[in-house]
Structure 1
């Protein structure tokens, strides 16, 4: 039986920047946490064939990028800081 898995990325959210890494790949991206940065991030994730994104709740700084990525069809999981630390 074959097992399929969806390629995933993780985002560390800051007030001004987003740091993005892809599971089991060397590709990384640092991009502005702005509307233009969110559009560029979405495009980059598509080129990398990413389907799912995990992001830590970060005082609301994550909300606009989460909305953009979900609108663009990505599965976005918002983790609470306690979940990430565990």
Structure 2
């Protein structure tokens, strides 16, 4: 069984919450920080990520997550 994560995307940051955890994380919305985010999601056995469509600010992290093997779903806010 895998967990789900939701990401609230903004120009500068990503607010990440995993369904089975009480506390989430906040990380910069920058390509150099995506490996840390991906590692954290893998640590928590996340398989599917839902992220908010935010005028294109979500595109880079979405591509990075897909390349890492996550099932990524973009939703309208």
TM-score normalised over the length of structure 2:
0.93
Task: Tell me, in whole angstroms, the C-alpha distance in 2 between the residues paired with 1:23 and 1:49.
Answer: 11
Q: Which has the higher contact order (CA 8 A, sep 6+)?
A: 2
1:62 paired residue among 54, 58, 64? 58
Gaps of 5+ in 1: 82-86
Q: TM-score when scaled to structure 1? A: 0.84
Runs of 4 or more, structure 1, over 6 Å off, are none
* Partner-residue secondary structure (3-state), 1:15: coil
Superposition RMSD on alpha carbons, in Å? 1.0
The number of residues matched between the two structures is 77
- In structure 1, distance between residues paired with 2:21 and 2:51: 17
Deviation sequence 1:9-68 (CA, Å, 0-9, x none) = 000001000000011321311000001221111011001110000001001000000000
Any idea what SS the aligned residue of 1:25 has?
coil
Which has more radius of gyration? 1
Query: Quick one: which of 34, 37, 40 aligns to 2:33?
Result: 37
Is 2:12 the counterpart of 1:16? yes
5+ residue gaps, structure 2, are: none
